[in-house]
Amino acid sequence: MKPTRYWVAYQTIARREILRFGRIWMQTFIPPIVMVGLYFIIFGNLIGARIGTMDGMNYVDFIMPGLVMMSIITNSYSNVVSSFFGAKHSHYIEEMLIAPIPNIVILLGFVSGGVARGLCVGAAVTLVSLFFTDFYIYNPLIVFIVAFMTAFLFSLAGLINAVFATNYDHIAIIPSFVLTPLTYLGGIFYSIKLLPEFWQQLSLANPILYMVNSFRHGFRGTSDIELTTALGVILIFIILLFIICMTLLERGTGIKH
């Protein structure tokens, strides 16, 4: 098959994924917007006003990049995990498995859906933040690169979860018991400089810390982590998860007998 045909196949999968979350916008767009709105009201305005400043800025300005990042992470992850698991569970993944498409095209198609949803929700949440903070972006390019890389990374992670999941409980366990705690402990609501030395060092093992801080660097120009280090860590995780995804798809783990 010619590369142009692979491009058509990729576009078909990506388009289908984007249409899927667009069709169910009540489930995909509204809840994160409402949730982040509540975070801004409670933590940003009500409690934040009493906290004062963090890293030299208003508390609401400090948490804003982290809240956007949290939306990107959860939405890119949940888009791929639910879509891929649904396709597997209802067997329509077979439509793609029987077709002459290399696994990398299937992978990139699903990941594109996750990235698109992560970025769309991220943009929507950023707009919501305008009601609570002044709009200020220190470096838009860094913001976009970090958002894209993070959405890509968590889309890959969602696919791995979906491959191993055998029922709907399995696609809820990882977001509830791994993703949410790591996100909350990833420096969204506080600077790790506030932590004792031991907890600071332990926090460095949390990959989400690097994403939140590099994102905050893009928005506010300040971060607990060196930007290049943070981007390097994200890139390493992307490469690692990409290899795992490709290996699972090549083996047919969870999708073929």
Q: Which is nearer to another protein, 64 or 87 (CB)?
A: 87
Tell whether residue 102 is a contact of another protein (CB under 8 A). Answer: yes
What is the DSSP secondary-structure string of 204-246? TT-HHHHHHHHHHHHHHS--SS-HHHHHHHHHHHHHHHHHHHH
Stretch that binds another protein, among 51-59, 92-100, 132-140, 197-205 (CB under 8 A): 92-100
With CA atoms as reference, report the closest residue to 230 among 156, 115, 142, 155: 142
Stretch that binds another protein, among 11-19, 127-135, 218-226, 230-238 (CB under 8 A): 11-19
CB of 90 to another protein, least distance (A): 7
Q: Which of 50, 141, 196, 257 binds another protein (CB under 8 A)?
A: 257
- Tokens, residue 168: 């709907």
Q: Which is nearer to another protein, 97 or 182 (CB)?
A: 97
Question: b/e for 70-79, b at 16 or more Cβ within 10 A?
Answer: bbbbbbbbbb
- Tokens, residue 95: 């439509």
Binding mask 45-84 for another protein (x = CB under 8 A): ----------------------------------------
CB of 206 to another protein, least distance (A): 36
Q: Are 159 and 81 in contact, with CB atoms under 8 Å apart?
A: yes
Place of tokens 């007998």: 257
Distance between alpha carbon 202 and the CA centroid of its chain, in Å? 22
Q: Which of 25, 92, 131, 177 binds another protein (CB under 8 A)?
A: 92
Q: Which is nearer to another protein, 90 or 228 (CB)?
A: 90
Q: Which of 53, 94, 168, 235 binds another protein (CB under 8 A)?
A: 94
Q: Which of 100, 196, 198, 228 binds another protein (CB under 8 A)?
A: 100
- Tokens, residue 50: 């009493």
Three-state secondary structure of 130-174: CCCCCCCCCCHHHHHHHHHHHHHHHHHHHHHHHHHCCCCCHHHHH
Q: Which is nearer to another protein, 3 or 196 (CB)?
A: 3
Residues that bind another protein (CB under 8 A): 1-2, 4-9, 11-13, 15-16, 86-87, 90-92, 94-102, 252, 256-257
